[in-house]
Amino acid sequence: MGRLMRAWIGRAVVLCCFVLLGARSVESSEKKKLEIFSREYVHYHPIYHHGGAWEFHDVFHPCDTFGQVCTLLEDKRAHDVVMVVNTTLIRHMDLVELSFFFTRGMQAHPNDTIAVYCVDEEEPPEVRFNALDFFDYVYVRDADQRVSASEGKVVFGPLINQRCAYQFQYLRYIEPLVYQSIAESVHVDMESGHTEPTQVHIALTGKRGEMRVMWTSGRVREPEVLFGSSTGKYTLSVFAKTDTYQVSDLCDGLAQRVVPSFYRRPGYLHDAVLSGLQPGQQYFYKVGSTDGIWSGEFTFVFPPEAGTAPVNGVPQSFFVFGDLDQNVMVDSNEPKEYESYLDGVSGPAPLGTGSTIDVLIEDFYANNSSYIAVLHDGDLSYARGRTFLWDQFGTMIEPVASKIPYMVSIGNHEYDYMSGGEHDISGAGKTSGYHPELGNYGNDSSGECGVPAAKRFHMPDNGNMMFWYSFEMGLAHHTAISSEHDYSPGSPMYQWLEADLKSVDRNKTPWLFLHLHRMLYCSQDYIKDYNVSLLLREALEPLVLEHKVDILFGGHYHAYERTCPVKQSKCAFDGERVAAPVHLMIGSAGGEIDDAQYMNREWSAQVKSEYGYGRVHVYNASHAHFEFLQLRGRSVTDEMWIISDHNW
């Protein structure tokens, strides 16, 4: 894959989001169709990864691998190479073009590196960073334009506001693991500075008439939300609480590595609760601070109150998926190549596949904004210790998450860890995390142990933060739990789940949906994950059946599977009505598709190794319609009417 193609990989999904929503777009002469492609499933190693400037790489830079240490020779620039940027002031999501050329007849070495740095604005100006502490890079051999052996250009971006100034250095390759910094650019500053609000998203609190608004910025005084029921007229306001996290709050591993490519200051995470909101009313809002920058205007429609039936035949609809990630791959004329692994095959998406966020936004507007929530069931950003990936993920989902409640639950890549359990923010972890016998629970969060996810996504407070909670909208009660914590009978989460399910008034909210990351029923031929599904089934299925849960949603395995209504591994129908829960595995939103074979199981009704997401439409107390929308072709390729009296 060429460098020009890689330059577009990281930009694509965000560009689509902003163009479709009418926000300021990033200009480019190239227009390309997009494909999803992303990082590994837990038992795979990375194929592609990306850095803090959204550049994609098929291998790690020698200075960014974990068993090697590079050496930086004494700085002797002497004007051997000149670096020029096309601007010194950019806005959030702008591109920067960097030109370089050698003097005195020198030529570039193919392994020379143009390194990207994020200079924290809150650090004292006299603090000098190590030139090897870059958080992204481009090899000179992969420059967008090579004018000659001694001259070229690179386009970086989109560069998001990460509360820092960007800088570029030319690292001359001397020998393996030895480099010399021979030139640096001026700083490229953010026009709005570190106070600019970014990563805006909303969530329900579980309380009547309330909506939570969250965003990120640098240090500000009195962060605030202004809102009202007319565009541009903000008659109400509420101040936000502010939080953050330090490296000492994380559990272990790479998450505790204090370098720009892993832990760096996450900024300040603001959290405000709007109250007194009315169902069906549209609200307009903006976020900011008294001494900083204000955002543009956002809007949302407050969802229907619990117990409210659909009106005029318009269903109460929501999106649901897991394993979004944030990586995309552009179309090309290159043959489709798969990478083989021990347990299966994974590879790029077929041509014509769109990004989940791109297609979801189209879907949202095509249906007159009638969707009332997004349910993201674990494996969010796949940051695994890298702060910049959380910043990029928050930027990517903002066009959707600022408009409808973005409700998340925990996945293995946010939580699983091996040591340092005293920092486990859920309070329910053990010293080394949760590692049941026969399971495959490793260090999948690289030591984050749920801290960044829980700090950034404040879910209803009626359980245990984002780890387990519940909320209601219209005719549905949603319960979210963790498949990464102890789920055995008698455990804290199990006891909470039992009490929550018992509390549901099925006359008020007849539909009962359970969200967790790993599935109770999953037929993929990967023995470790299959064993975990058996553990979950043994522990939770009796409770699920007792309380007549209608649908279980999850992901984890990067594909799609729908079961029949299943009870103790047997399909259960009562005429046209279901007589058991339906299990929907929708781990196909963006994490690289897994192509392991499926086992022949009676209860498996449909499987697809395709990218896509789920849509649920609740029409009344007895009829709900599920659709799997395949990203390639933007078409519904599986669906099911779920007809139930919830009393089987």
Distance CA 438, CA 85 (A): 54
Q: Tell me the per-residue pLDDT of 277-326, one tens digit each, with 9 for 90 and over.
A: 999 999 999 999 999 999 999 999 999 999 999 999 999 999 999 999 86
Q: How confident is the model at residue 65 (pLDDT cuts 50, 70, 90)?
A: low
Q: Which residues contact 432 (CB under 8 A, 6 or more apart)?
A: 417, 418, 419, 421
Average pLDDT over residues 613-631: 97
pLDDT, tens digit, 9 for 90 and up, residues 126-178: 455 688 899 999 999 998 877 788 899 999 999 999 999 999 999 999 999 99
348 — pLDDT class (breaks 50, 70, 90): very low
Given pLDDT bands bounded at 50, 70 and 90, which one contains residue 43?
very low
Sign of the dihedral through C-alpha 54, 59, 65, 69:
negative
Query: pLDDT-derived band of residue 342, with 50, 70 and 90 as boundaries?
Result: very low
Check pLDDT > 70 for residue 252. yes
Residue 412 within any structural domain of the chain: yes
Domain assignment present for 58 = no
What is the Cα–Cα distance from 196 to 191, expressed in whole angstroms?
Answer: 9
**Residue 187 lies inside a defined structural domain of this protein:** no
- Confidence (pLDDT) at 136: 96
Number of independent structural domains in the chain: 1
Query: Structure tokens of 604?
Result: 């498996």
Residue 548 in domain: yes
Please give the structure tokens belonging to residue 597: 């074979």
> Can you say whether residue 222 is alpha, beta or left, with left for phi > 0 and alpha for psi between -120 and 50 degrees?
left
State the Cα–Cα distance between residues 95 and 112, nearest whole angstrom.
Answer: 22
Q: What is the pLDDT of residues 21-31, one digit of tens each?
A: 333 333 332 32
Section 385-402 average pLDDT: 96
pLDDT of residue 106: 83
| CATH code of the domain in which 444 resides | 3.60.21.10
Any domain includes 299: yes
For residues 336-349, average pLDDT: 33
Distance CA 621, CA 346 (A): 40
- Closest of 136, 138, 130 to residue 112, by C-alpha: 138
Angle ∠(285,290,294) on CA atoms, nearest 5: 40
pLDDT of res. 36: 25
**In terms of residue numbers, what domain contains 516?**
199-207+211-643
Residue 334: is its pLDDT beyond 60?
no
Taking the C-alpha atoms of residue 494 and residue 485, their distance in angstroms, rounded to an integer, is 10
Average pLDDT over residues 190-200: 97
Q: What's the confidence (pLDDT) of residue 226?
A: 99
Q: What is the distance between the alpha carbons of residues 577 and 568, in angstroms, rounded to a whole number? A: 18
Most confident of 143-147, 224-228, 356-360: 224-228
In percent, the amount of the chain with pLDDT more than 90 equals 73
**Choice among 58-67, 167-176, 488-497 with the minimum mean pLDDT:** 58-67
Q: What is the pTM of this model?
A: 0.90
Using alpha carbons, select from 370, 324, 337 the residue that is nearest to residue 39. Answer: 324
**Is 147 within 8 Å of 153 (Cβ atoms)?**
yes
* pLDDT tens column, 425-469: 999 867 899 999 989 999 999 999 999 999 999 999 999 999 999
Quick check: bond before 158 cis, omega within 30?
yes
Neighbour-count burial of 80, counting CB atoms closer than 10 A to its CB (0-12 exposed, 13-18 middle, 19+ buried): middle
The average confidence (pLDDT) of the chain is: 87
Is residue 569 domain-resident?
yes
Task: Tell me, yes or no, whether 217 lies in a domain.
Answer: yes
What are the backbone dihedrals phi and psi of residue 609, each rounded to the nearest 5 degrees, phi first? -95, 65
Whether 94 shows a pLDDT value over 70: the answer reads yes
Domain contains 34:
no
Statement: residue 597 has pLDDT above 60: yes
Question: Which tokens is 76 given?
Answer: 């002797």
